[in-house]
């Protein structure tokens, strides 16, 4: 926020005095959605008669090149997704100093320092800008909104390279730093009712991506090791550690008027080192989706997608989870059929609508559904969204 304000003041007072300010770029966006569900709640009281308007995204970003090899960029984001509005407080979404030590026709090599967006799958680095998403909601099996803070960004250093070949481009990105551990992660881990603090530990992420024939075919492989430490203030309960180690394979084929996209992930996660064994667990989940998008009439696009989430590959139906008394079986999976439509009214205005038919509640936000025993296994959701950018 400080960087954006400083750049704005400086640009209005001294643009004519420095050629560096000629490189200043500032942009912003606003999205407002209406969410309606027949059962369960998503991003607010969506199952009420009037639905929920508690899904709002507002962002502003700025970039500046003080040198041809150096880029300074930052974005401030205010995002409300249900809750009491406390999560709508503006935060630094990303803020980096990017230095390219090598850039020519054949290859690029650079490093970023600051808060960088994680190269997680196809969409994570631009997921907050509605114009870059194929749908209002990204596939929730891969791009969790209920624990989005964990995969969104990290504070540290990252390095990237691009090699341009005769048949395509190879890109690699690796980052090391501290993850973000918000209240959403504590709630999902059921640690929010215990006095203590969940703090990030050093984590790493890496992605290799290949684009063939100008992007006709795109493939990427992502892996990460995200870690956090729970410092307990509960008498008799020791400190413990959280880990998340996913592998994601991403594939996409593009033609002039249509695209076929699929991603598959194995997600190993758990809690360990607590002296109470009831807190410790180790599970491997499975996520995948297949998505077809079709462009028509220049400004329109429709989408159909099947999205599948399994929280534990050893308990796909959730029966063992339910038998343990931890919650309903349907909270351990979610199979989502999505139909979507987008209309780019002009380059700055986007309208979208989509329908979800969901079997399971595996990705429902806990803050909107505090008692999982009261949720319904099968439910439907309608979303309408208006997005602006400038």
pTM for the model stands at 0.90
- Rounded to the nearest integer, the mean pLDDT of the chain is 91
332-342 tens-digit pLDDT: 999 999 999 99
Query: Contact, 246 vs 224, CB < 8 A?
Result: yes
What pLDDT shows up at residue 12? 47
98-120 mean pLDDT: 95
15, pLDDT greater than 60:
no
Domains parsed from the chain with CATH numbers = 2-389 (2.40.160.10)
129-139 mean pLDDT: 95
Q: Give the model's confidence band at 170: pLDDT under 50 very low, under 70 low, under 90 confident, else very high.
A: very high
157-168 tens-digit pLDDT: 999 999 999 999
Distance (Å, rounded) from C-alpha 14 to C-alpha 185? 44
Distance (Å, rounded) from C-alpha 291 to C-alpha 303? 7
304-322 mean pLDDT: 96
- Percent with pLDDT over 90 in the chain: 75
What pLDDT shows up at residue 187? 80
Nearest Cα neighbor of 340 from 350, 348, 332 is 350
327-367 tens-digit pLDDT: 999 999 999 999 999 999 999 999 999 999 999 999 998 88
Helix, strand, or coil (residue 146): coil
Q: Please spell the DSSP secondary structure of 212-237, one letter per residue.
A: EGGGTEEEEEEEEEEEEEEEE-STT-
For residue 55, count other CB atoms closer than 10 A to its CB: 23
Distance (Å, rounded) from C-alpha 324 to C-alpha 233? 27
Here the contacts of 95-104 (C-beta below 8 Å, separation 24 or greater) are 95/3, 96/71, 96/72, 97/70, 97/71, 97/72, 98/70, 98/71, 98/72, 98/73, 99/69, 99/70, 100/69, 100/70, 100/71, 101/69, 103/69
Query: Contact, 37 vs 372, CB < 8 A?
Result: no
Q: What's the longest Cα–Cα distance across the chain?
A: 71
190-222 tens-digit pLDDT: 888 888 888 899 999 999 999 999 899 999 999
Query: Contact, 230 vs 239, CB < 8 A?
Result: yes
């Amino acid at each position: 926020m400080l960087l954006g304000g400083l750049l704005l003041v400086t640009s209005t007072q001294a643009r004519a005095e420095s050629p560096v300010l000629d490189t200043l770029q500032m942009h912003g966006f606003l999205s407002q959605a209406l969410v309606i569900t027949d059962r369960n709640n998503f991003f607010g009281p969506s199952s009420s008669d009037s639905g929920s308007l508690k899904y709002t995204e507002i962002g502003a970003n700025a970039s500046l090149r003080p040198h041809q090899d150096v880029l300074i960029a930052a974005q401030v984001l205010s995002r409300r997704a249900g809750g009491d509005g406390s999560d709508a407080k503006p935060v630094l979404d990303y803020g980096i100093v990017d230095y390219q030590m090598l850039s020519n026709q054949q290859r690029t090599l650079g490093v970023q320092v600051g808060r960088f967006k994680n190269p997680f799958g196809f969409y994570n680095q631009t997921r907050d800008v509605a114009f870059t998403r194929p749908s209002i909601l990204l596939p929730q099996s891969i791009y969790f909104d209920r624990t989005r803070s964990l995969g969104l960004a990290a504070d540290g250093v990252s390095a990237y390279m691009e090699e341009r070949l005769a048949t395509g481009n190879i890109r690699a990105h690796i980052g090391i730093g501290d993850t973000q551990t918000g209240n959403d992660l504590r709630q999902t881990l059921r640690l929010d009712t215990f006095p203590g603090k969940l703090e990030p530990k050093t984590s790493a992420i890496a992605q290799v991506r290949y684009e063939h024939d100008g992007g006709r075919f795109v493939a990427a492989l992502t892996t990460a090791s995200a870690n956090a430490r729970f410092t307990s203030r509960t008498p008799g309960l020791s400190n413990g550690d959280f880990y998340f180690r996913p592998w994601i394979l991403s594939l996409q084929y593009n033609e002039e008027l249509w695209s076929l996209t699929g991603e598959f992930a194995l997600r190993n996660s758990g809690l360990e080192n607590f002296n109470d064994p009831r807190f410790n667990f180790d599970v491997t989940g499975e996520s995948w989706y297949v998505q077809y998008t079709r462009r028509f009439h220049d400004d329109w696009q429709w989408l159909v997608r099947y999205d599948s989430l399994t929280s534990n590959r050893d308990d796909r139906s959730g029966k063992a989870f339910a038998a343990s008394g931890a919650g309903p079986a349907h909270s351990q999976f979610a199979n989502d059929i999505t139909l979507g439509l987008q209309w780019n009214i002009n380059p700055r205005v986007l309208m979208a609508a989509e329908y979800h038919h969901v079997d399971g509640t595996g990705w429902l936000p806990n803050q909107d559904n505090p008692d999982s025993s009261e949720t319904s296994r099968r439910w439907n959701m309608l979303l309408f969204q208006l997005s602006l950018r400038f």
